Chain A
Amino acid sequence: MTAVRDTNPGIVLSGLAKSYGPVRAVRGLDLAIAPGETVALLGPNGAGKTTTIDMMLGLTRPDEGTVSIFGVPPAAAVQDGWVGAMLQTGSPLEHLKVREIVRMMASYYPHPLAVEEVLRITGASDFAGRWTTKLSGGQAQRVRFAAALVGDPDLLLLDEPTAGIDVEGRRDFWQAMRAVTERGKTVVFATHYLEEADAYADRIVLIARGEIVADGPATEIKAQAGARSIRATLPGVDVQALSALPGVRSAQRHGDAVLLSCSDADAALVSLLTVFPGARDIEVTGGSLEEAFLELTAADADASRQRTEAAR
């Protein structure tokens, strides 16, 4: 693999499309991932993340388009042991102990890591002798992580790896993950946790309704959405009037507090103070990834609505 990596074309998805009956799960996805990148596929449920990952693994055949993993089709990359994955399904086998299942997975790969080392990295050493059916959710997730990792794959594909795991478990998982990515692996993970994408990915690919709606580092995505909000204390004011202010996209009122979501926060602030000089405790906050996420996925919804209407 080292020889290959020098001229490594990375991962290329081009024109990828997949429908399940009338549902267009993925519609024309183009994505290039360089070797060593950690990329988050971020999107709400049903956005097409799992379908995309399944197509990258060769588990699902695309209707259109191609996937190339380090220059070869997914099946060939899997066959050569370049790919490790944590699927959403895939609970550990019965009648095997944790160490045994990791050892079994290791035996499938041409150049596996040392089993004990992997158990240590993934935090599974403490319960390595336990039956795989007697594990807590967090422990089972560590075993699945160990199983994905032990083959020493160049590409790790993780489909919502921390779904159903508590906050502490998630932090431990990503800490272990950091240790792994430092070894120069390419990592692609699907998530709907914004903070995860923000904290652990070099690059976020925002997916909604089977399409990429934004692609770049977290900071860039926040800037792209340009969302800023203004909070103020302003008793007895009409929400309609606030919404009508220039630069304000939407307004909410909670008791005496108002929250303005702005397309142009500067203009909104000026007009707010002009029209409502009684506004106090004013606070302008920079766009959070969450706001960017909501805005970009919503913009997409509007766009598809318009497309649908145009089609009628």
Chain B
Amino acid sequence: MTHFRYEILRTLRNRVFYAITLALPLVLYYSVASGQRNGTFDGTAFPLYFMTAMAVYGAMYAAVAPGARIARDRSRGWLRQLQITPLRARTDFAAKAASAYVLALPTLVLLYLAGASLGVRLDADQWLELTGLLLAGLVPFVVMGFILGYLVPVDALAAALGGVVVLFALLGGVFGFQLATSGPLFDVLKCLPSYWLVQAGKTTLGGGGWPAQAWIVVAVWTVALIPAAALAYRRATSRV
């Protein structure tokens, strides 16, 4: 429990990072969505669409954030120090994943408030459903953060994490346009967890929730990435 507490404390004390995950999507949201209050996009009201998109954007940064901490700990030799304590690796993973969600949740709530201020109206259970879908869809990104944290040198890590988030955000339709709405490219985009994260607002409003494909995409990414994370961890902790 102490380990959980301090992992979360370390996350929150990284104020600059915290401020960016909160402020960046909020600023983008108001600057883009306030001009399109009555617009529609992708078959849904623009404020709802873009609220979800920006919540996803900020939450993705929060999700990969443990990667940054892992890489710094690794470069400081702390990973080796942890290896020679009775702390189990999976307890450490769980604490770091929890800290990612602690960072992600305020971003979601803040964007919900911003959305509501621009006329987004959902029932209480719809807000909860949306939150549930977003938290579930973030799992692959938490694992990606771990992989990069254990593999990428610390001085290249910010670029790697930022690149992954921006790339997935772009392909998932976070920035207010989609690269394709039909054809083979669209089929590829629909295999990305970020696509379904952005779709969560629309599907929640439609009342249908995520289609099976969304759950399969998120599950497959997670299941495929976890062994990669395990390998990355083993590589980082074993000396040749």
In chain A, what residue has the closest Cβ to B2?
A107
B-chain residues with CB within 8 Å of residue A83 when the two chains form the complex: 84
Cβ distance B217 to chain A, nearest Cβ, rounded Å: 35
In chain A, what residue has the closest Cβ to B238?
A61
Select which of B72, B83, B86, B239 is within 8 A of A80 by beta carbon. B86
Knowing A93-B73, A94-B72 touch, does A107 contact B78 (C-beta < 8 A)? no
Which of B6-14, B136-144, B177-185 makes up part of the contact surface?
Answer: B6-14
In chain B, what residue has the closest Cβ to A60?
B239
Knowing A81-B86, A151-B85 touch, does A89 contact B80 (C-beta < 8 A)? yes
Tell me if B86 and A59 are in contact (CB < 8 A): no
Within 8 A of B (CB), among A19-59: 20, 54, 57-59
Within 8 A of A (CB), among B96-133: none
Asked whether A103 is an interface residue with its Cβ less than 8 Å from the other chain, the reply is yes
Tell me if B9 and A96 are in contact (CB < 8 A): yes
Tell me if A110 and B86 are in contact (CB < 8 A): yes
Tell me if B1 and A107 are in contact (CB < 8 A): yes
The CA-CA distance from A22 to B184 in the complex, in Å, is 52
B-chain residues with CB within 8 Å of residue A91 when the two chains form the complex: 76-78
Q: How many A-B residue pairs have CB under 8 A?
A: 72
B-chain residues with CB within 8 Å of residue A92 when the two chains form the complex: 76
Within 8 A of A (CB), among B1-45: 1-3, 6, 9-10, 13-14
Tell me if B83 and A93 are in contact (CB < 8 A): no
Interface string of A164-208 (1 = CB under 8 A from B): 000000000000000000000000000000000000000000000
Asked whether B240 is an interface residue with its Cβ less than 8 Å from the other chain, the reply is yes
Cβ distance A16 to chain B, nearest Cβ, rounded Å: 15
A-chain residues with CB within 8 Å of residue B76 when the two chains form the complex: 89-93
The CA-CA distance from A138 to B239 in the complex, in Å, is 28
B-chain residues with CB within 8 Å of residue A105 when the two chains form the complex: 85
The CA-CA distance from A284 to B234 in the complex, in Å, is 57
A-chain residues with CB within 8 Å of residue B78 when the two chains form the complex: 90-91, 93
Tell me if B85 and A109 are in contact (CB < 8 A): yes
Asked whether A79 is an interface residue with its Cβ less than 8 Å from the other chain, the reply is yes
Tell me if A54 and B77 are in contact (CB < 8 A): no
Asked whether B87 is an interface residue with its Cβ less than 8 Å from the other chain, the reply is yes
In chain A, what residue has the closest Cβ to B82?
A108
Tell me if A87 and B81 are in contact (CB < 8 A): yes
Select which of B6, B83, B240 is within 8 A of A20 by beta carbon. B240
Cβ distance B81 to chain A, nearest Cβ, rounded Å: 4
Interface string of A73-90 (1 = CB under 8 A from B): 000001111010101111
Select which of B14, B77, B86 is within 8 A of A109 by beta carbon. B86
Tell me if A96 and B10 are in contact (CB < 8 A): yes
The CA-CA distance from A90 to B72 in the complex, in Å, is 11
Cβ distance B199 to chain A, nearest Cβ, rounded Å: 36
Tell me if A93 and B86 are in contact (CB < 8 A): no
A-chain residues with CB within 8 Å of residue B86 when the two chains form the complex: 78-81, 108-110, 151
Tell me if B80 and A78 are in contact (CB < 8 A): no
Tell me if B14 and A95 are in contact (CB < 8 A): yes
Most B-side CB within 10 Å, residue of A20, A61, A107, A151: A107
Cβ distance A83 to chain B, nearest Cβ, rounded Å: 6
In chain B, what residue has the closest Cβ to A93?
B78
Cβ distance A146 to chain B, nearest Cβ, rounded Å: 13
Cβ distance A177 to chain B, nearest Cβ, rounded Å: 19
Tell me if A90 and B80 are in contact (CB < 8 A): yes
A–B Cβ pairs within 8 angstroms, 28 of them: A20-B240, A59-B80, A59-B84, A60-B239, A78-B83, A78-B84, A78-B85, A81-B86, A85-B84, A87-B84, A88-B77, A90-B78, A90-B80, A91-B77, A91-B78, A93-B76, A94-B72, A95-B9, A95-B14, A96-B6, A100-B9, A104-B2, A104-B3, A104-B6, A107-B3, A110-B86, A151-B85, A151-B86
By Cβ-Cβ distance, the 9 closest A-B pairs, closest first, are: A89-B77, A107-B2, A95-B13, A90-B77, A95-B10, A90-B81, A108-B87, A108-B85, A81-B86
Taking Cβ atoms with an 8 Å cutoff, the residues of A that contact B are 20, 54, 57-61, 78-81, 83, 85, 87-96, 100, 103-110, 147, 151
**Told that A96-B9, A108-B3 touch, could you supply 5 new A-B pairs with CB distance under 8 A?**
A59-B83, A80-B86, A81-B86, A90-B81, A109-B86
